[in-house]
Structure 1
């Protein structure tokens, strides 16, 4: 489970600067820009959904770090940018693992924030090919959707969703 946490934290560390870059409008030259004059303004409008995502992720990371520090009894630390806070959380993941409910919370929140970043950046969900055949249609079309923690047959007439490991244990 700590590997899941590390994966989602790494995704956030990678995507957050991309969000900041995506928010900054292009200053490319337009026909209105004449030599000797100040640029007429941004060529692209600011996308509010990117701004909202940055605010949501920033608030979420701050709250998550505070919850982790409080639960683990760690001292207060200076404020820092989001990637630094995420690295600090990643640095104590082994200690977080001693508290299964806290580890689940950290994993769920970082997954949620990483997915939100990916959506704001227009990244499609990645598929991973799974060896084996679908138990229903016998097709070799099994794919894993890591963000959803789901394995599914992508054969159009079938679309069978395999049980998640937790569901199989409960049966």
Structure 2
């Protein structure tokens, strides 16, 4: 496992998290008319999408906890609270030191991959996959696909569905 994979997941979160937060802002259709009592009138705003709100909360909490764990494991002093993208950049700045601790490196990669996948799903992005050359060892079909977000290779032959988990430890 290299710093590059951890950096990719962190960069994805830095780039996409603001889009996720923007999804929480209701879209106004035809003006912001308010009814008595302060609520929107029918049809003026999009409904609250709880799955987006839950994803924002989960990722925010996850990044805060990850930064605290990284700093504690590396023996660094706590830092002041900051927005999620700032915290992610601070973690990215420590990737070289993180790589020296295989347990911490694996944890950082797993958590950033999980949070990037959650962000992508909440934004409606389909999971990305890569078609692999070669044949499935179980059914001999040319149907192997790598799913980086899940860290697995899967045979997409409906009869087979063989799954291999990709190695996440430094080799």
Would you call these one fold, judging by a TM-score over 0.5?
yes
Q: Between Structure 1 and Structure 2, how many residues are aligned?
A: 160
Structure 2 equivalent of residue 134 of structure 1:
136
Task: State the shift of 1:16 in Å.
Answer: 0.8
Q: 1:53 to 1:163 in 2, by over 3 A?
A: closer
d(CA) in 2 for partners of 1:103, 1:164: 16
CA distance in 2, matches of 1:108, 1:95: 17
Which residue in the other structure is 1:4 paired with?
5
Match of 2:45 among 43, 64, 81: 43
Q: State the 1:14 CA deviation.
A: 2.0
- Report the more deviating stretch, 155-164 or 14-23: 155-164
Partner of 1:62: 64
Return 54-63 or 149-158, whichever deviates more: 149-158
Distance 1:79 1:87 in 2: 13
SS of the equivalent of 1:151 reads strand
C-alpha RMSD of the superposition: 2.0
Q: Deviations over 1:6-31 (max 9, x none)?
A: 121122112211111111110121xx
Structure 2: any 5+ residue segments left out of the alignment? Answer: 35-39
* 1:59 CA drift (Å): 1.4
In structure 2, the partner of 1:14 is 15
Distance across 2 between alignment mates of 1:5 and 1:119: 19
Q: Find runs of 4+ consecutive structure 1 residues off by over 4 angstroms.
A: none
